[in-house]
A and B are shown apart, each in its own frame.
Chain A
């Protein structure tokens, strides 16, 4: 069975600090997909990134970067030079290629960036 663990429930950082959100997953599938979503105070979930299990290249998008390591089953998310607008709940999620292909979410990490 699949499982996504986000051990950090809440994190607070001061603006301009870097912060890393951890995500560890479990799956028996060899083909699977990992996602990060952001949920700002307004409530909607915003898609940030998708990574498939065959692509371990790290990705950078502006101040965001993602570190995918199959050896440790981790898909961590780093925000560089954090800003107040980054304050949100961030969810890591997993979708297996077999079965219903539904998305299973971690419990989320609430990030607060203090000005």
Chain B
């Protein structure tokens, strides 16, 4: 059973605010990810990390930033929230299997609304 936690579950915030979405996993997984999910369902990879002190940009350009100071923690920060950032943000982690393709374990997501 995967143990990956995201907080907050829901967040409504005004334009221009700085926010941090938290993600923690207790499985000791090296690789972690952030996906942004459109209201129309599509999932886009915005950040990932191979391990501590590693951060990479994903396929979708994002104004957010991430950090990986500890294996279990992978927070995502928006310095100045805008309505275009309204979306669901999903955090995931995976261990390294053959070819690095172990299944991703997802958190419950943070649904962000910027007014």
Binding site for B on A (CB under 8 A): 31, 33, 35, 37, 42-47, 50, 52, 89, 91, 95, 97, 100-105, 107-108, 110
Q: Which of A42, A44, A45, A105 contacts B42 (CB 8 A)?
A: A105
Residues of chain B touching chain A, judged by Cβ–Cβ distance below 8 Å, are 33, 35, 40-43, 45, 48, 56, 58-59, 88, 90, 92, 98-101, 103-109, 111
Task: Show 27 A/B contacts (Cβ-Cβ < 8 Å), sorted by A.
Answer: A33-B99, A33-B101, A43-B109, A43-B111, A44-B106, A44-B107, A44-B109, A45-B92, A47-B104, A47-B105, A52-B101, A89-B41, A91-B43, A95-B100, A95-B101, A101-B99, A101-B100, A102-B33, A102-B58, A102-B59, A103-B104, A104-B45, A104-B59, A105-B43, A107-B41, A108-B43, A110-B41
Residues in A whose Cβ lies below 8 Å from that of B92 = 45
18 extra interchain contacts, Cβ-Cβ under 8 A, other than A103-B33, A108-B42? A35-B103, A44-B107, A45-B92, A45-B104, A47-B104, A50-B103, A52-B101, A89-B41, A95-B100, A97-B100, A101-B99, A102-B45, A104-B45, A104-B59, A105-B43, A107-B41, A108-B41, A108-B43
Q: By the criterion CB–CB under 8 Å, are A42 and B108 in contact? A: yes
Q: Nearest 5 CB-CB pairs, A to B?
A: A101-B100, A97-B99, A45-B106, A108-B41, A33-B101
